[in-house]
Structure 1
Amino acid sequence: MYYNSGLLEIRKYRVQSLITILLFIAPFAMLMLAFPADAFGWFLLAASYFLLLTCKEIRNSTALFWVSVIVLTLHHIISFMNAYIGTTLGADTDAMGFHVAAQIQSSVTGSFELKVGSGFYIQMLAYLYKVFGPSQFTGQMTSAIGYVLSSIVFIKLMTRIGVKRHQGKLLFLFGALPTVFFLTTVILRESWEILSFLLIIYTALGLRHKKSLRQFSVLFMSVFVLALLHNGMMAFAPVIILLSFLWIYSKKEGENSTAGKKIIAVLISCMAIGVWFYINNSGISSTASSAVASGSVVDYANAYRDGSAHDSRASYGISNSDSSLFGLIKTFPLMLVYYMFAPLPWQIGNVADIYAALESMLRFFLLYFAYKTWKKSAGEEKRMMKYLLLTFIALECLWSLGTINWGTAMRHHLVGYGLLLLVAGPAMFDRINSLLRPRLK
């Protein structure tokens, strides 16, 4: 009798689950019928919610589940508005340029040639459009999928780094920051750059404790995709490879220091960088990586900054005083400060600048709490924090060389933002709670 009762409960649960799934799918099926040109986009929208449920941490945490769903829904609302109502913030020149270029390329037949930077992103979209038809909504949903995957990696990084406090708040700040909110829901590369960068960090942390071919493959593939997505990231690839392998094979807590591990780290790094030089010289390169390979970084940085100086009203106008390496070293600290914190108070001219200044203030506080977290840590945790912060700083230093206005800088900051938030966020929220607690009593 008890056996039959158990079977009935199992069948009842299965029927309820099936009805729930059908009720979830039904609206999307209707939208696919109503907008046949955007059918694949609506399929990706439905798939984005299922992707969230593949993450064990999201299934096991009510806070992470609801924050994930709410923030993703807000992202989708922006996509819907941009596709069917009117252009949203950040969805004008670059986003529409990518969409139109991919639409044209999808109708052209010819031999395949792998490109770097915006050309690679356009190729990705063009092949999608070739298979499923050109659709602005579909293009936007690919960015949404990139955001969903990056948020899952962000959550898993919390576990790998050991972040146990304020997880829901951190995820909300990661996904609902206005620049993330608007720029990862339109046809731009940012969501995929964020995903690739976070995957590199995630796999490097895993390889520190357990070496596996699968994780090495994910690491190198993530570096390769990040390098293909942006000209500057092609130049950053050897830097992050070197930092990651020095971390993976560095001395662990309680372990005797051996020259063997250091030699392995250097050899693997040299081999990986050698492969990078080979790829760069074989034609899969960018102007930035070619400048690194040829040793003409200073000339390239000066030419790039001069060429983009008139791209935006938000230019902060810091340039190299001469074309020598010494001139770059002398000017670089000021370049970095303006890149990180512009617009400064005297540069604010409109409402958009006020928001940019607020975001710079958030970045300043995160950097402050990141430093405090590193100083308070010890042992293996301190080594991990050192790797994370060095990687973040190296990324921001490279971006600063080729960035001349805070509008572009806000987009570039998004790539490393999640990592900085993971390092500094728990300490920042602890401090906020300690300040608010006396008032709440």
Structure 2
Amino acid sequence: MFVDHISYLALQQYFIATIVWCFSLLLLSQYLNIQHKEISNKKVFFLSYYIALSIIAVIRIFSNILPNTPDSFMYLKASERIANGNDFFFMGAFFYSDIIYFIKSVTFNNHYAVLFLNNVLFIFALIKLLKIVPKSNLKSFWLWFLFLLAYPSIYWFVPNVLRESIFFYCIVNVFASSLNFQNAKLSLQNVFLLGFFSIFSILLRPQILPILFVWYAYVFFKRSILFGFLISLIGIIFLTNDYILSEYLSKISFEYLEAKKIEGAASIPTIAFKQTIIPNSFYELIMLTPYLVFRFLFAPFPWEISNLRYSFAFLDSLILVFLFLNLAWNAIKRKLWSLDIVVFTFLFITILGVFEIAFTGAVRHRMPYILILSTLIMSDSKNKKIFVTR
């Protein structure tokens, strides 16, 4: 329980938390007011959703109603070490501890503020996603609304001391900014936003760097062959960087994949997949990838749950079954409106699926991309075109 970290100065914690919560609610309300009519009309939902997530955040502080996430306590301890004079973390998982430290510094060491700001960033990301959806499709917003209410991962990982919310906000902005490169004139604002959110996403999760380069090549080649070759050239230059060589290229081997999976599974036996699948050749990798992606998307399976508390994760996989059935139906009826969303999300899902070692990790790591993909359930019954990219 997080209450162990905030038991001191309780009255001050509550008072500052109330100020932060009210400020976040006001900020969210004002932001919704300046959106176009189709989104501002959803103001009641987004404000109510923020309130609901805030209530869950407070409950989770005092109760272990959901399984603990050990990373949360590692981030808190790392931020405390920074406060005691240790060095900041440049990138990787503990870069989030730097963010926690800064939030606590400006809120007088308030832990509630971390949770509330995670919630409001998550809502901002949802609003950004909604702005990508064609206006005619917003008539079926209620379906997405039901999915957001029912999706268990949101309640497990968003009102929590985890980097999921801020990473989701960054990766949504990366996707939205890259779409602007396809569909609008180049501008300094677009370049800055894409660069800023890309860097921040990589600082939080360095392993996505190669995936982003593949995505950028796809985006720029769609705009023009010249731009595509330019981004590819930049990628090749990056490959000569010592850090890239040591952190990425040196690890592109089946031996590294085998060592990583065996070591990881041994360290978390209670939540690791029952079957550790390790391809030993490119042929095996190609043949096994469909199953690994399927497992990543729909884990945990019932026989993998040894603790009833993780049945919450199984509920998550059931919800995804209904989501993909809906998406399949929309595809059959030619109502999917964006190929870009499919390409973007499955680039990440495919690569992450090959490396994933635990069902709880799968549930957590797929969440940002599932949320982006879920916007495709909003369809226009009159639109018979498939894959209309905005």
The residue number in structure 1 matching 2:225 is 262
> Which residue matches 2:45?
67
Alignment of 1:99 with 2:52, yes or no, is no
Measured in 1, the distance between the counterparts of 2:321 and 2:334 equals 20
Residue aligning to 2:4:
none
Shift of 1:229: 0.9
AA matched with 1:266: F
Structure 2 CA distance for aligned equivalents of residues 109 and 61 of structure 1: 44
Are positions 1:165 and 2:122 aligned together? no
For 1:337, the aligned partner's letter is F
Which of 256, 259, 284 is 1:300 aligned to?
Answer: 256
User: 5+ residue gaps in structure 1?
Assistant: 1-32, 250-260, 429-441
Structure 2 stretches lacking a partner, 5+ long: 1-8, 382-390
Q: Residues 127 and 52 of structure 1: is their aligned pair in 2 closer, same or farther, counting only changes over 3 Å? A: closer
Structure 1 residues 58 and 264, CA gap change in structure 2 (3 angstroms): closer
Of residues 155, 158, 162, the one that matches 1:184 is 158
CA distance in 2, matches of 1:130, 1:101: 14
Q: Give the alignment's TM-score, normalised by structure 2.
A: 0.82
Whether the 8 Å CA contact 1:316–1:406 is kept in 2: the answer is: yes
Could you tell me how far apart the structure 2 residues matched to 1:332 and 1:392 are?
16
The reply on whether 1:404 has 2:357 as its aligned counterpart is: yes
Distance change >3 Å, CA 423–CA 363, structure 1 → 2: same
Match for 2:371: what amino acid? G
Instruction: Tell me the residue number matched to 2:125.
Output: 150
DSSP 3-state at the match of 1:315: coil
Q: Is the 8 A contact 1:68 1:171 kept in 2?
A: no
The CA deviation string for residues 265-292 of structure 1, in whole angstroms up to 9 with x for no partner, is 2213432x246546x63x4x6xxx8453
Greater relative contact order (Cα < 8 A, sep 6+): 2
Are 2:314 and 1:363 aligned? no
* Gap change, CA 1:178 and 1:320, over 3 Å in 2: closer
Matched with 1:215 is: 190
Q: Does 1:337 align with 2:294?
A: yes
RMSD: 3.2
TM superposition shift of 1:343: 2.6
Aligned in 2, Cα 1:362/1:82: closer, same or farther, shift over 3 Å? closer
Instruction: Write the distance in 1 (CA, Å) between the matches of 2:67 and 2:187.
Output: 40
Pairwise CA distance, 1:349: 4.6
Residue 70 of structure 1, CA deviation: 1.6
Query: Considering only CA atoms, is the larger Rg found in Structure 1 or Structure 2?
Result: 1
CA–CA distance in structure 2, aligned partners of residues 297 and 362 of structure 1: 35
| Percent identity (aligned) | 17
Q: How much has 1:46 moved relative to structure 2?
A: 1.8
Equivalenced residues, count: 370
Distance 2:50 2:350 in 1: 31
Distance 1:175 1:212, change over 3 A: farther
Where do residues 34-433 of structure 1 align in structure 2 (5 Å cutoff)?
A: 35-37=11-13, 41-53=17-29, 54-55=31-32, 56-57=34-35, 64-83=42-61, 85-108=62-85, 110=87, 115-159=90-134, 163-174=137-148, 177-210=151-184, 211-247=186-222, 249=223, 261-271=224-234, 273-274=235-236, 276-277=238-239, 281=242, 283=243, 290=246, 292-294=248-250, 296-310=252-266, 311-321=268-278, 323-374=280-331, 376-377=333-334, 385-426=338-379
Is the 8 Å Cα contact of residues 274 and 304 (structure 2) preserved in structure 1?
A: no
